[in-house]
Amino acid sequence: MAADEARRLQAVPAGDEESPAAGASESSPAAAPPATSPRWLAGLQVPGPLVRIAVGVIAVGLMTTGLFFLVTDVLLPGLGPARAAPAQPEAQGAGALPGNQFKVDEIIVNPAGTHGRRFLRLGVALEAFSGAGGEAVLGELEARQAQVRDLFIREFSSRTLEELTDPTVREELRAGCQEKINGLLVKGKIAQLYFTDYVLQ
């Protein structure tokens, strides 16, 4: 081993003992990047402050938009107040057959604010309780048909197009009309009011 070490020392000239340090210093300028970077590398460098700000503003805008739709379309509909279903008469069970029905002639009204350019075609059927009392209600509805039609025309023509397209308003109108018709009747009450036709044009 000592012989190998001696041979190695002899192979290296005396002036070259500093050569590893000198070689490192000679090779370091070649390995170091030049003072000015090439043009193709300039495009890969960190963008200027205006570009960073623009990218940040766009990212914040996209996150805000996503959050808005998450809240309005996913979270808020589930948090809304629960709407109670309208009370059904006790005689009308889920499996009960429909009672006596009275069909109101087709009604056409112009919604408020449309100046006659739009109209609603409305078909209505009124259901009385089955039995002898229902027959009396049907007879009274036939006698009061003009009052019933007028009630529907007044109620629906006072609503705007936007209100008439809203399902919640439609259900409010159904319940309100049923209550007002029952207020007109003397011989009994109607159990249900059906829209057989509801077309906005």
All structural domains of the chain with their residue ranges: 101-200
> Which pTM does this prediction carry?
0.51
Which DSSP helix (H) or strand (E) runs through 127? strand 120-128
Q: Pick the residue with more confidence: 21 or 135?
A: 135
Tell the CATH superfamily of the 101-200 domain. Band 7 domain (3.30.479.30)
Place of tokens 């000015």: 36
190: Cβ contacts below 8 Å, ≥ 6 apart: 126, 127, 128, 137, 141, 178, 181, 182
pLDDT tens per residue across span 89-123? 444 444 455 678 889 889 999 999 888 889 889 99
Please report the pLDDT score of residue 92 as a whole number. Answer: 47
Kindly indicate the confidence band of residue 21, based on its pLDDT and cuts at 50, 70 and 90: very low
| pLDDT at residue 153 is higher than 70 | yes
Q: What's the rounded mean pLDDT across residues 47-75? A: 85
> What are the distances in angstroms from CA 85 to CA 88, 91, 125?
9, 17, 20
Q: Please tell me the least confidently modeled range out of 84-98, 132-146, 167-181.
A: 84-98
